[in-house]
A and B are shown apart, each in its own frame.
Chain A
Amino acid sequence: MKRRSLAAWGALLPLAVIVLIGYVGTVLWTVRTSLSTSRTFPKDDFVGLQQFERLLDNERWQLAIHNLAVYGVLYIVAAMLLGFLLAVFIDQKVRGEGVLRTAFLYPYAMSFVATGLVWQWVLNPDSGLQNAMQQLGWKDFSFDWIVDQDMVIYTVVIAGTWQGAGLVMALMLAGLRGIDEEIWKAARLDGIPTWRVYLSIVLPMLGPTLATVFTLLAVGVVKVFDTVVAMTQGGPGTASDVPAKFIMDHLFGRANLALASAGAVMLLLTVLALVAPLAYARSRQKAQGGH
């Protein structure tokens, strides 16, 4: 038995090093730095939660958090709703299912950078959609959100939804296909309308799939960075700033290590708050299932 563990641990050594140094070590380092006054170089002093107070008073951070919340809620709702509808409609024995699935999912294979750039062009009022519609004779057509400080974050939602809805569709469709055909027969016998079956019976049965999709999307929200950099560079001004970009700018551009670290810790706490309830629910489910 001893030797058995030894061989396996030998093989797991690289993983152990990665976990202990790459994950645990770096997180501890960042937490420690967030409690210091480090600027360009790490410092060893200790100032408690001072950086967090400064962060919460920082207007740019407030805006970034606000944008993240707006983006997160709208993106998750839009992607899940659109993805679910697409899955349900595709599930109606339509022709050309393969082509449709490909059309809905291909954006997911594209990078966030490409996604941001593409939508930057389509939504650019001077050369994109607005201009084209005006050229076609619709003179009053106006769609200039991407250069509007108050609306720009919604354009990021559009790009994000375009990129991510296909993923929701694919996972939901797999879930729908896994539902027992007997349920449909029973509902038919009882004369329940199709939409009712989807809403009251099928959707609750897709609970685990919904939880998975939500987790995937939510983790993606917190990470949002590339899309914004490519699409708006955080602008106009700092109107479409997000926490990830704020942190990167303060780490590498503005040399404010401690403040950036405080932001990173806040981001980590946000993720934990999102993931912990789901992980807890799942572990309880498992415990119940095991007995």
Chain B
Amino acid sequence: MSKRKSTSLWARVGIYAFLLFAAAFFLLPLYVMLTTSFKSMDEIRLGQIFALPSAPSLDAWRAAWSEACTGVSCEGVRGGFWNSVAIAVPSVVLPILLGAINGYALSWWKPKGGQWLFGLLMMGAFIPIQVMIYPLVKLEAAIGIYSSLPGIVVVHLVFAMPIMTLLFRNYYASLPSELFKAARVDGGGFWRIFVQLVLPMSTPMLIVAAIMQITGVWNDYILGLTFAGREHQPMTVQLNNVINTTTGERLYNLNMAATILTSAVPLLVYLISGRWFVRGIAAGAVK
């Protein structure tokens, strides 16, 4: 890289100008959200969305968390937050565990016909949700879990299967096959090899898979809207209700605080995970 010709000064200026302009475009919404969330409604009515708050206040954040109204109940988005946590924990753990088992069984044991199952699953990854959603509602209603916490978790499990299986299958297939042969010679069975040899080696993929599932489940709207029911509405659904179904004056400061609160978990995951986040996207993209 050091061998590249040093570009002229004007070219450098142009490069930085473009990058800064682009950064402004990407950061503008975040800036507007943050500044507005610290303003009072009186200040917002002045209509200067780019101005910094004159008297920053956390009132809107407090109200968004514990007083914002959806329909008749005014309990803030905190309920949705805890609903999302309750949905996310099993919807992250179960698909990852099952994906790892699938990937291990498919790549190391290669059972007869396994490639057909995997092929079908990969085609399934491209099926639009709308094709599957109604029959899934009917199925869940038939077994009595529609509109419940298990109901939404099962649906997340179904939709996560292609990517989770693919991630672990590719990862395990890239490990040296001598490992498997040696474990077999030592008399290891299916589950023993999985628990004692394979799982301990899976840490990088477990991290990538966890990042993808946490952000995916937390950001989901359509599945939560359809399958979770009123009692377990995730934060995204509640946020949309708070903002798009309110009548009367729009409380922009509260709305923006609520939006940031709803985005906080995936944003934190992204900021903390850094390059792992990109690795997850790239791994998922290689289909």
Residues of chain A whose beta carbon lies under 8 Å from any beta carbon of chain B: 4-5, 7-12, 14-16, 18-19, 21-27, 29-30, 33, 42, 82, 85-86, 89-90, 92-94, 100, 102-114, 117-119, 121-122, 126-129, 131-132, 135-136, 162, 165-167, 170-171, 174, 181, 184-185, 188, 194, 212-213, 215-216, 219, 222-223, 225-226, 229-230, 233, 243-244, 247-248, 251-252, 257, 260-261, 263-265, 267-268, 271-272, 275
Closest to A244 in B: B130
Among the listed B7, B158, B250, which residue makes an inter-chain contact with A18, where contact means beta carbons less than 8 Å apart?
Answer: B158
Report B's interface with A, CB cutoff 8 A.
1, 3-5, 7, 15-16, 18-19, 22-23, 25-30, 32-33, 36, 44, 46-50, 98, 101-102, 104-106, 109-112, 114, 117, 120-121, 123-124, 126-136, 138-139, 157-158, 161, 165, 189-191, 215, 218-222, 226, 236, 239-240, 243-244, 250, 252, 255-256, 259, 262-263, 266-267, 269-271, 277-278, 281-282, 285-287
Beyond A121-B32, A230-B244, A264-B128, whether A8 also contacts B111 by CB under 8 A is yes
Residues of B within 8 A of A167 (CB): 281
B239 to chain A minimum Cβ distance, whole angstroms, is 6
* Residues in chain A near residue B16, CB distance under 8 A: 94
Q: Which of A12, A93, A110, A268 contacts B131 (CB 8 A)?
A: A268
Contact in complex: A212, B285 (CB < 8 Å): yes
Select A104's contact among B18, B23, B222, beta carbons within 8 Å: B23
A194 smallest CB distance to B (angstroms): 8
Q: Contact: B278 with A30, CB < 8 Å?
A: no
A-B pairs with lowest CB-CB distance, top 3: A111-B219, A109-B270, A8-B109
B residues less than 8 Å from A85 (CB atoms)? 18, 22
**Contacts of A174 on B, CB cut-off 8 Å?**
278, 282
Nearest CB to that of B6 among chain A residues?
Answer: A93
Q: Check B243–A27 contact: CB distance below 8 A.
A: no
A18 to B18, CA, bound (A): 48
Residue of B nearest to A1 (CB): B112
**Which residues of the other chain, B, contact A121 by a CB distance below 8 angstroms?**
32-33, 36, 49, 252, 255-256
From known contacts A22-B132, A118-B29, A127-B252, infer whether A109 and B121 are also in contact, taking CB-CB under 8 Å.
no
Could you say which residues of chain B place their CB within 8 Å of the CB of A100? Answer: 19, 23
Query: Are B266 and A111 neighbours in the complex by a CB distance under 8 Å?
Result: yes
Knowing that A8-B111, A225-B222 touch, tell me 8 more A-B residue pairs with CB under 8 angstroms: A11-B102, A12-B117, A89-B18, A104-B22, A109-B270, A117-B240, A171-B285, A267-B128
Which residues of B sit under 8 angstroms from A222, Cβ to Cβ?
128
Judging by beta carbons under 8 Å apart, are B131 and A14 in contact?
Answer: no
- Indicate if the CB atoms of B124 and A23 lie closer than 8 Å: yes
Given the complex, which residues of B lie within 8 Å of A107, measured CB to CB? 26, 29
B120 and A19 within 8 A (CB): yes
Chain A residues with CB under 8 Å of B27's CB are: 103
Residues of B within 8 A of A226 (CB): 221-222, 236
CB distance from A182 to the nearest CB of B (A): 10
Inter-chain contact B47/A127, CB cutoff 8 Å = yes
Give the CA-CA distance A223 to B111 in the complex, in Å.
34
Min CB distance, A143 to chain B, in Å? Answer: 13
